[in-house]
Amino acid sequence: MTVRVRFAPSPTGMFHVGGARSALQNWIYAKQQGGVFVLRIEDTDAARNKPEWTEGILSALDWIGISRGSYEGPYFQSANAGEHRAAATRLYESGRAYYCDCTREDVQARTGSQYQGYDGYHRDLGLGPGPGHALRFRTPDEGSTVVVDLIRGEPTFENKLIEDFVIARGDGSPVFLLANVVDDMTMGITHVIRAEEHLPNTPKQQLLWDALGVKPPVWAHVPVVVNEKRQKLSKRRDKVALEAYRDEGYLAGAMRNYLMLLGWAPSGDREIVEWSVIEDEFRLEEVNPSPAFFDEKKLRAFNGEYIRALPVSEFIDACQPWLTGTGTIAPPPWQPEEYDADAFAAVAPLAQTRLAVLSEIVPNVDFLFLASPLIDEAAWTKTMKDGSADLLDAAIAAFEALQSWDAESLKSTLEAVGAERGLKLGKTQAPVRVAVTGRTVGLPLFESLEVLGRERTLTRMRAARLRLV
């Protein structure tokens, strides 16, 4: 039997990091088993679906390494509507489903509770199909449904506690539960690896598989992903869009690595490992069923490690979208003609050691490409105090007299200026840094001044000095 897994997102918004984790787990499992990864777009929610969301799913999968052409699909659930309706008809004709025209208010009036589930009123009344008649599955009165789960063991659900659930609406359209089952049957899915939030629906789906005469798939419900308050990650409350992390400058390798650690870990005391190690060592049955904490601070640390591990040439290439404003990245504060690739290449090794995300490259190097620096007024106020004017005057004069404009000469010269005033280098260079870069922190100062050049450096220092008059 060929293993066939599926990833079935809905195109109703940005691509959730939890969905990305499920996609990766399905992808690796299929690869390990010599099987097939199927992409199915569950697009039956016409009011919320948008073509751009579908493209977003495909692009996000591309980014994390599940490239187009390497999987089967994408299929679209809406294209299988005929099979959904045919399955509903078979269930009705076989007596496994019946029609019901009860409203929620009807059930509440009979049971005396708004919290009571459906009471089976129409089970034996023989109501036929018609406008407003929903089709309900006839859940067995006795026994239990055992879900054999690779991660959670054998959760058991008493059938008497499962209400006769709706499988087709009053207009005849099948609901998600039935459509999902029929699609998996049609596509020959053998293993369903999905989020824990779907577990409550699984006994209902397994009953549908049984009623339609097909062996259910192997189930594996991976743990829910939670925030620092141990609440399920929410699009309304949390930063969950994979595209947002991509556009902020997280590397795909770092994101892949981190997502796979949500509920699982490689052997040994390791977390940052080669993708080939993850592909080799990942085991579904070793996934921890407990909720998995998505720690953005830890992800940032991961990403910083991945950035520092890049060859410098790859780091330079990776920064280009932020330096040139390409794709979905906002344009930088300088004009395209102001960008100097050679200047960036000169400071790239210095910048590479300081970034947690690639978007941080812009405030680190903007002073190189702008006609004048963007002054952080808080930094100016904090730094330009009594004595700063005298210090800048002396530094300007000393720099003007330099024969060699290199980092070491600049450093020793400014050290001497500070020593004459009883200042350590840190105090001496602070006004110069703010005057030249606009900030109190950034790349190593003297290497930056070397790349910026004599004339631009002195022009900025003189402008700062005039502002202190």
- Of 147, 170, 156, 293, which Cα lies nearest the Cα of 220? 147
Residues shown for the chain: 469
Q: Which two tokens stand for residue 125?
A: 């009344």
Three-state SS at 193: strand
Three-state SS at 69: coil
Three-state SS at 126: coil
Distance CA 32, CA 45 (A): 33
- Of 397, 410, 400, 413, which Cα lies nearest the Cα of 450? 410
Give every CB contact of residue 13 below 8 A, 6+ residues apart in sequence.
Answer: 48, 53, 235, 241
Distance CA 182, CA 217 (A): 12
Question: Which residue matches tokens 């399920």?
Answer: 232
CB atoms within 10 A of CB 267: 10
- CA distances 311 to 248, 304, 347, 351, 353, Å, are 20, 14, 14, 13, 12
**Runs of H (alpha helix) within 384-406:** 388-400
Q: Which two tokens stand for residue 297?
A: 């601070």
Within 13 Å and on the Cβ side, how many CA atoms surround 273? Answer: 19
- From the list 50, 160, 235, 385, the catalytic residue is 235
Is 297 labeled as catalytic in the residue annotation?
no
Q: Which amino acid belongs to residue 370?
A: L
CA 79 to chain centre: 28
Query: Sign (positive/negative) of CA torsion 63, 69, 72, 73?
Result: positive
Q: Are 6 and 184 in contact (CB under 8 A)?
A: yes
Enzyme catalytic residues:
235
